[in-house]
Amino acid sequence: MKTPLQLLICEDTESDVLLLVRELEKAGYDVAYRCALTALDMKAALQSQSWDIVISDFNIPGFGGAEALAICKDSGIDIPFILVSGVVGEEAAVGMMKKGAHDYLMKDNLVRLGEVVKREMEENQNRKERKKAEEQLRANEEKYRVIINNSLFSIFLTKPGGLIQEANRAACDLFGYTQEEFRNLYLHKLLYHIDPLIVIKSVNPEGGSNREEFISIKKNGELFHCEVSSILFKDINGEELSCSMLADISQRKDAEQQLRDTNSELKKLSNHLKNVREDERKYISREIHDQLGQLASAIKMELDWLNIHLVTADEKAKSRIARALDTVTIMIDTTRKIATSLRPSLIDELGLNDSLKWQCSEFQNLNGITCDFEEIFDDTGIVLEIKTELFRICQESLTNVMRHANASHIQVSIKDITDAFALYIVDDGKGFDTSQKNSHLGLVGIRERAHSINGHLQIRSEPGKGTSICVTVPKE
């Protein structure tokens, strides 16, 4: 199948035109041609359609190859121009080549015409593609330059080692340097770190992208917090470059510090309120035990005396005294239970293991739910605050199990785990979906108590598979 060819010929001899067309057809082209014998014909032809190639004689009466070439150049259209003549000298042909002609042939030797046309058309196509790519590259460069120069972040283009090649407008505004001044600076010189090698490695990553926080230095010596994101790449020439984006995060760091300060103050307030609450519990427990307990005991002693010495009292009076004694006994037991519930003396007098063991026993007796305590941890050395918080966490957890879990068995234990120890409360109840947000006050209280002793709370549960609560506390 022949290759279509749109041919514009500047030739006044018809036989020569036919000779050119025949040579091209022999070379495999399906030629559609038009002749231009004057400058006006040439201009009109170029405006009427697109052409694949122009073949021109050197000498045409009133017109010629030099003028035809000039018209092609002035049109701005990139078309291969081949000079074919029977009389042109080598010097004239070379002059035409310098002006832009792509090749020349003698009319008495057209054997190379097909080969020359093919070569020039291929080179013309390559030129068009290269020009299109260059235009696209320029358009992209302009687009990205506009984006970079209007970016709110400082952007630097650096060579390996950190020498700044380019900096955008935001970088100039932030640091106070001009573009020319930046080109004499290394990026890591704008950043402060106790180890300069860390800075160089961070802003010139060896393996892809990187992000680090630093303190940066402005031209006037002012310091500010910044975050630097860097990526290593190669440009179109294969040269290795680094692109770094620097963001001023001073406001964020200030906000983070304010948040930390606020959290610290809230933690102190929470601990203060917790300690006040424990002190109040201890005070109320002691008052109930010492005052109400003693008063109840005194009443019981009086009733015992009456029961012994009122020998002549009738049966009805003795019965009332016996009922009063029973009531006072219940009152004494209840007072003792309330006082112990508020603040078990075991925490202060013995230790965490004994307190938890007593708590499990009391829970089992009161609720009829089996609650075992496994004593496998030496609690010697644990400070009173941590003992109290773990006791309260267990107390709250058991209350939650009683109210919500519908469990038949609970296992409580403390285990040693290297640099920490952990309190476990495991039940075989109905469980719940931990992926659902839960703001139950019991769990919130447990979480806050764990946080107050620098502990970590982990809750594992699934519907129908019970619940496991673990509070891990680092060893002092």
Beta-bridged to residue 84, according to DSSP, are 105
Residue 422: φ, ψ to 5°:
-135, 140
Residue among 26, 91, 85 at smallest CA distance from 58: 85
Which H, E and C letters describe 268-285, residue by residue? Answer: HHHHHHHHHHHHHHHHHH
Residues 56 and 159 in one domain: no
- Listed residues 191, 220, 248: the one ending a domain: 248
Q: Is residue 292 part of a domain?
A: yes
Q: Is residue 293 part of a domain?
A: yes
The CATH number covering residue 189 comes to 3.30.450.20
Question: Distance (Å, rounded) from C-alpha 390 to C-alpha 228?
Answer: 44
The CATH number covering residue 411 comes to 3.30.565.10
DSSP 239: -
Q: What is the number of domains present in the chain?
A: 4
Question: Distance (Å, rounded) from C-alpha 349 to C-alpha 282?
Answer: 13
The CATH number covering residue 48 comes to 3.40.50.2300
Residue 381: φ, ψ to 5°:
95, -10
Residues 165 and 127 in one domain: no
Residues 28 and 127 in one domain: yes
Question: Distance (Å, rounded) from C-alpha 19 to C-alpha 27?
Answer: 13
DSSP 3-state assignment of 290? helix
Residues 39 and 108 in one domain: yes
Q: Is residue 145 part of a domain?
A: no
Dihedral over Cα of 326, 331, 334, 336: its sign? negative
Q: What amino acid occupies position 458? A: Q
Residue 268 C-alpha from the chain's centroid: 32
- Asked if 432 and 393 count as a contact pair (C-beta separation under 8 A), the reply is no
- Asked if 374 and 413 count as a contact pair (C-beta separation under 8 A), the reply is yes
Q: Is residue 455 part of a domain?
A: yes
The set of long-range contacts for 232-236, using a CB threshold of 8 Å and a minimum separation of 24, is 232/204, 232/205, 232/206, 232/207, 232/208, 236/137
Ordered per-residue pLDDT tens for the chain, 476 residues: 788 999 999 988 888 889 888 988 988 999 899 999 899 999 999 999 999 999 988 888 888 888 989 999 988 888 899 888 877 677 777 888 888 888 888 888 888 888 888 998 889 889 888 888 888 888 877 887 787 888 889 999 888 888 999 999 999 999 999 999 999 999 888 887 645 555 555 555 565 567 888 889 999 999 999 998 888 888 777 788 888 899 999 999 989 889 988 887 877 777 667 666 766 766 676 667 666 767 777 777 777 777 777 767 677 777 887 788 788 788 877 777 776 666 666 666 778 888 888 889 888 988 889 999 988 888 888 888 888 888 888 988 998 888 888 899 999 999 888 888 899 999 999 988 887 766 565 677 788 888 888 889 999 988 888 999 999 999 86
- Listed residues 291, 316, 341: the one ending a domain: 341
Domain span at residue 391?
A: 347-474
